[in-house]
């Protein structure tokens, strides 16, 4: 084999090996990026799911407080649409199905024909079930999963926090009054779900 042919063959072989090595490295980097993105998105989805439970239970807790010993002058009925937009998908679709329809039917019958036996504390839960059952798909499917639902939850949280702080005489006093800490923490937890949803949209 001539020297020039040997050098040409060696150069071509090295070029091929380098090309294959670079392609393998690119595959490793792409796989690592994909795994990282999948893990990141998975953690975001878990955070949204977990915080939706936290926010929903916080709103339900505030509704119970308002019907028992809180008795504020705030428009706490806004917690009903907040729960509508923040309920976890599994619980939302369960309550929107046949179970929710039967509960709504019983609530309407009791309210119409036995109004004296219909307790006041059932008005808000009954309203929530009715809202879940009769809401159009535009609200139940489109708005719940978009920035519209997030914006509504944020606005409701801001309104309730502002009214609670003003009624308490300041943010510091809202932690020092009787039952103030639990009420304030409950309202602050309302921000966890919509703020995290905003972060996941921006990232």
Tokens 């009903």 correspond to what residue? 80
Other CB atoms within 10 A of residue 62 CB = 25
Higher pLDDT, 190 or 23: 190
CA atoms of 176 and 17, how far apart (whole Å) = 72
Please report the pLDDT score of residue 156 as a whole number: 92
For residues 196 and 202, is the Cβ–Cβ distance under 8 A?
no
Please report the pLDDT score of residue 121 as a whole number: 73
Distances in Å between the alpha carbon of 180 and those of 59, 75, 167, 168? 16, 17, 11, 8
CA atoms of 190 and 200, how far apart (whole Å) = 17
pLDDT tens per residue across span 106-143 = 888 888 888 887 777 778 888 888 888 988 888 888 88
18-32, 41-55, 72-86, 163-177: least confidently modelled range: 18-32
R_g over Cα of the chain: 28
Q: Would the pTM of this model clear 0.75, i.e. be above it?
A: no
pLDDT tens per residue across span 47-88 = 778 888 999 999 988 888 776 665 556 677 888 999 999 898
Please report the pLDDT score of residue 18 as a whole number: 56
Can you say how many angstroms the Cα of residue 70 is from the centroid of all Cα atoms in its chain? 26
Q: Cβ neighbours of residue 37 under 8 Å, at least 6 residues apart?
A: none
Can you say how many angstroms the Cα of residue 113 is from the centroid of all Cα atoms in its chain? 37
Q: What is the mean pLDDT of the chain?
A: 76
| Burial category of 17 from C-beta neighbours within 10 Å (exposed 0-12, middle 13-18, buried 19 and up) | exposed
Please report the pLDDT score of residue 20 as a whole number: 61
17-26, 62-71, 131-140, 171-180: least confidently modelled range: 17-26
With 50 as the cut, is the pLDDT of residue 38 above it? no
Please report the pLDDT score of residue 41 as a whole number: 46
- pLDDT confidence band for 181 (50 / 70 / 90): confident
Can you say how many angstroms the Cα of residue 114 is from the centroid of all Cα atoms in its chain? 37
């Amino acid at each position: 084999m001539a020297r020039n042919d040997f050098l040409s063959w060696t150069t071509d072989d090295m070029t091929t090996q380098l090309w294959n090595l670079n392609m393998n490295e690119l595959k490793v980097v792409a796989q690592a990026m994909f795994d990282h993105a999948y893990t990141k998105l998975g953690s975001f989805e878990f955070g949204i799911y977990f915080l939706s439970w936290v926010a929903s239970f916080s709103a339900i807790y505030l509704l119970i407080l308002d019907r028992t010993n809180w008795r504020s002058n705030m428009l706490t009925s806004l917690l009903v649409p907040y729960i509508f937009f923040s309920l976890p998908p599994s619980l939302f679709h369960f309550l929107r199905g046949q179970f929710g329809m039967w509960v709504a039917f019983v609530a309407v019958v009791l309210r119409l024909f036995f109004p004296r036996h219909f307790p006041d504390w059932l008005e808000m839960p009954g309203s929530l079930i009715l809202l879940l059952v009769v809401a159009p798909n535009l609200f139940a499917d489109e708005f719940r999963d978009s920035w519209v639902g997030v914006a509504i939850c944020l606005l409701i949280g801001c309104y309730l926090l502002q009214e609670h702080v003003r009624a308490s005489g300041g943010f510091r006093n809202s932690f020092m009054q009787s039952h103030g800490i639990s009420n304030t923490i409950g309202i602050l937890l309302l921000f966890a779900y919509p703020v995290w949803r905003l972060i996941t949209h921006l990232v």
